Amino acid sequence: MPNNWPRWGLACVAGLIFPLGLAPFDWWPLVGLSAGLLFFCLNPAHCRTPLRTGFFFGAGFFGAGVSGVYISIHVYGNTPVPLATVLTVMFCGGLALLFTLQALLFNRLASRHLGWQVIQFASVWVLFEWVRSWLLTGFPWSYAGYGMLDSPFAGWIPVIGVYGSSWLIVLLGCLWVSALSRPQRAPRWIITLFCSTALWLSGSLWSGVQWTQPLGTPFRVAAVQPNVPLKEKWNPRYRGGILRDFVERSARLSESHDIVVWPESAIPGYRDQLEAVISQADQDATNSATTLITGIPTRDTGGRYNSVVALGNGSGTYNKQKLVPFGEYVPLEGWLRGLIAFFDLPMSQFSEGSSDQPPLMAHGLPVASLICYEVVYPDFVQRLGRDAALLITISNDTWFGDSVGPWQHFQMARYRAVEMGRDLIRSTNDGITALVDAGGRVIATSPQFTDAVVMGAVQPRTGHTPYALTGSLPVLVFALITLVLGRDRP
Separation CA 414–CA 422 (nearest Å): 10
Listed residue (169, 173, 171, 170) closest to 153, CA to CA: 169
Active-site positions read 264, 320, 372
Q: Which residue pairs, CB below 8 angstroms and at least 24 apart, start in 286-291? A: 286/311, 286/312, 286/313, 287/254, 288/251, 288/254, 288/255, 288/312, 289/258, 289/313, 290/253, 290/254, 290/257, 290/258, 290/259, 290/260, 291/258, 291/259, 291/260, 291/362, 291/363
Pairing of strands 291-300, 259-261: parallel
Separation CA 88–CA 81 (nearest Å): 10
Tell me the backbone φ, ψ of residue 426, rounded to 5 degrees: -125, 120
Residue 20 pairs with which residues in a beta bridge?
none
Residue type, 49: T
What's the N-to-C CA distance of the chain in angstroms?
Answer: 29
Residue 11 pairs with which residues in a beta bridge?
none
Separation CA 239–CA 276 (nearest Å): 14
Separation in Å, CA 168 to CA 157, 188, 382: 11, 17, 20
CB of 142 closer than 8 Å to CB of 133: no
Listed residue (436, 439, 428, 441) closest to 456, CA to CA: 436
Residue 302 pairs with which residues in a beta bridge?
none
Q: What angle separates helix 186-207 from helix 157-181, to the nearest 10 degrees?
A: 160
CB of 359 closer than 8 Å to CB of 369: yes
**What is the length of the chain?**
490
Give the alpha-carbon dihedral of 155, 159, 162, 165, to 10 degrees.
-60
